[in-house]
Structure 1
């Protein structure tokens, strides 16, 4: 996670430039390719963490699952940024001052969970009271999660529609509404992205 407090920067996430200004945050998720921008001056915070080590939230749902829905890039209101900075400042202080390792680890996990929950609340507040995402968008989110699990072995639209219990037409409509792409194009795009990631992260050659 990168939080920009002043200045601006344009790093790359998964081979696309992202223009980030003060009050913005970037969330780079496991497997994504991230490249720093060293051409501009900016100040802020960077936290590297393992999602599976995060605490569960109140209803028992893993916080790691919750943050999967957060965007890669978002602008924060000044009041929210202040809350986030307080949490990160506490983490910085306690990582240096708390000597007992198990206590320090638990404290940092709780503080990081606080920061990430703040970001989750920002996303949830974008909906009006009582409003929930559209049915098509909910279908797309389910498809996106299933695609992450199955894209290496399954490349057919029919596999995903059957697995999700949707018609091919309904799934295609959901993908078009959420991304502007057909289901097949989403699948192909994910396969191509994985190929790029492997070339960036490993010594594999193009074959």
Structure 2
């Protein structure tokens, strides 16, 4: 698995880079796009024609005209098959959007969805506008404006977001509860490899555990402890599936001082021991045919 850092091309040092899948295929002659990768930046794709496939965190997603893919930093993914599609591929740094909340607008952000047919032309127009400004900035640096590019990216994001994810007004109490959950989610992302108890987060954030449980359940449908455990489990699966680390090393990487405790945790969450789960994943990957879309479908 490749760890990818944000390294913009020459003339694209504004926190965002606009590509196309056709351009990606031209430059990526050894097809590194089909190998597992983990970026430290956002990848937003809008499919404008054709069909293909994408994989992210152990799930396969079919791609069609109007599909949107949003890979957030840390997600392990690969472009399984993008040889018969085209569209926009936008890379941007965390914090580049003018409103940071747009990066976490959904409490359980989706990886892939499809915009309605009546929205697609508007989304394409937004992507084309961003692309034109990006190319103009690269050709003529005196025309460059990071603020303008940031707002054009925000316009595209707002246009393609699923209706259930679009920002909408809340009552004061609802806003407050959501703020508490966002603070908890951010703390979990920063500390889940060290802190495995909700009480640790409650102490750090200045709330009691019942408040964190209530607000997390309201936002996600699950309690604070289950939310934390799922984040630890996802990272455990990533390490087991995409590295050569033995179980004991994975346990230490995730803050378990004893491999037996990690195995107990993993078995409780999945029903399988880590080694059994890994073997099953490899077996399924070996048996699974490579996804190949039908030519001419959309």
Task: Output the TM-score relative to the length of structure 1.
Answer: 0.71
CA distance in 1, matches of 2:212, 2:96: 33
Match of 2:245 in 1: 205
1:54-82 CA distances to partner (integer Å, 9 max, x unpaired)?
Answer: 4x3xxxxxx23322224333432344332
1:16-46 CA distances to partner (integer Å, 9 max, x unpaired)?
Answer: 2334443232211111112213188433221
Secondary structure in 2 aligned to 1:36?
strand
Match of 1:140 in 2: 181
Deviation at 1:14, TM superposition (A): 2.2
CA distance in 1, matches of 2:193, 2:85: 38
Match of 2:209 in 1: 168
Pick closer, same or farther for the CA change 1:110–1:10 going to 2, 3 Å.
same
Match of 1:80 in 2: 119
CA distance in 2, matches of 1:64, 1:74: 21
The answer to whether the aligner puts 1:149 opposite 2:185 as a matched pair is no
Match of 2:159 in 1: 118
Secondary structure in 2 aligned to 1:18?
strand
Q: Aligned pairs, how many?
A: 197
Match of 1:47 in 2: 90
Match of 2:129 in 1: 90
1:73-122 CA distances to partner (integer Å, 9 max, x unpaired)?
Answer: 34323443322211221333344455223534635444323322434695
Match of 2:71 in 1: 28
Match of 2:104 in 1: 68
Q: Does structure 1 conserve the Cα–Cα contact (< 8 Å) formed by 2:181 and 2:216? A: yes
Q: Does structure 2 conserve the Cα–Cα contact (< 8 Å) formed by 1:67 and 1:120? A: no
Deviation at 1:191, TM superposition (A): 1.9
Q: Which has the larger radius of gyration?
A: 2
Secondary structure in 2 aligned to 1:32?
coil
Over aligned residue pairs, what C-alpha RMSD do you find? 3.6
**Equivalent in 100, 116, 121 of residue 140 of structure 2:** 100
Match of 2:294 in 1: none
The answer to whether the aligner puts 1:194 opposite 2:235 as a matched pair is yes
Unaligned regions of 5+ residues in structure 2, if any?
1-43, 250-298
Q: Does structure 2 conserve the Cα–Cα contact (< 8 Å) formed by 1:5 and 1:43? A: yes
Higher strand share: 2
